[in-house]
């Protein structure tokens, strides 16, 4: 017996709920200066109930070769990685028009 998605009722291998949610999210990537004038890239707008923020953060940290964390529904990366984050989020399946870089 296959597992069935609770949201759409389709088998999990055919379910597209996660892909649809990725295209509807409005993600904001911005630079924030933290203590001692250290630049930090902040990624907001990802729904922690619908997406696995830890998994996305781990992929971003690996790809961009930086440190970071997940706190209160947003991802913090050490350093200025705004352009790289946008490219990687597009590669992960997010819609390019829904990603705003500030």
| C-alpha distances in Å from residue 22, one per residue of 34, 47, 59, 97 | 29, 9, 16, 11
User: Is it the case that residue 50 has pLDDT exceeding 80?
Assistant: no
DSSP helix, strand, coil percent of the chain (3-state; round to 5): 35, 25, 35
**Three-state DSSP state, 5:** coil
Query: pTM to 2 decimals?
Result: 0.74
Q: Residue 49's pLDDT band (boundaries 50, 70, 90)?
A: confident
Residue 68's DSSP bridge partners are: 77
Q: What is the pLDDT of residues 55-85, one digit of tens each?
A: 999 999 999 999 999 988 889 999 999 889 9
- Six-digit token pair at 1? 């017996």
Query: Taking all residues of the chain, what is their mean pLDDT, rounded to a whole number?
Result: 84
Domains of the chain and CATH, by start: 26-101 (3.30.780.10)
């Amino acid at each position: 017996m296959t597992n069935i998605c609770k949201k759409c009722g389709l088998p999990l291998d055919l379910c597209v709920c996660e892909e649809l949610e990725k295209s509807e999210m409005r993600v904001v990537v911005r630079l924030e200066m933290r203590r001692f004038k250290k630049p930090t890239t902040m990624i907001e707008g990802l729904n922690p109930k619908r997406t696995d923020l830890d998994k996305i953060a781990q992929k971003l940290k690996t790809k961009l070769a930086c440190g970071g964390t997940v706190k209160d529904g947003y991802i913090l990366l050490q350093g200025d990685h705004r352009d790289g984050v946008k490219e990687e989020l597009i590669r992960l399946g997010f819609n390019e028009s829904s990603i705003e870089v500030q």
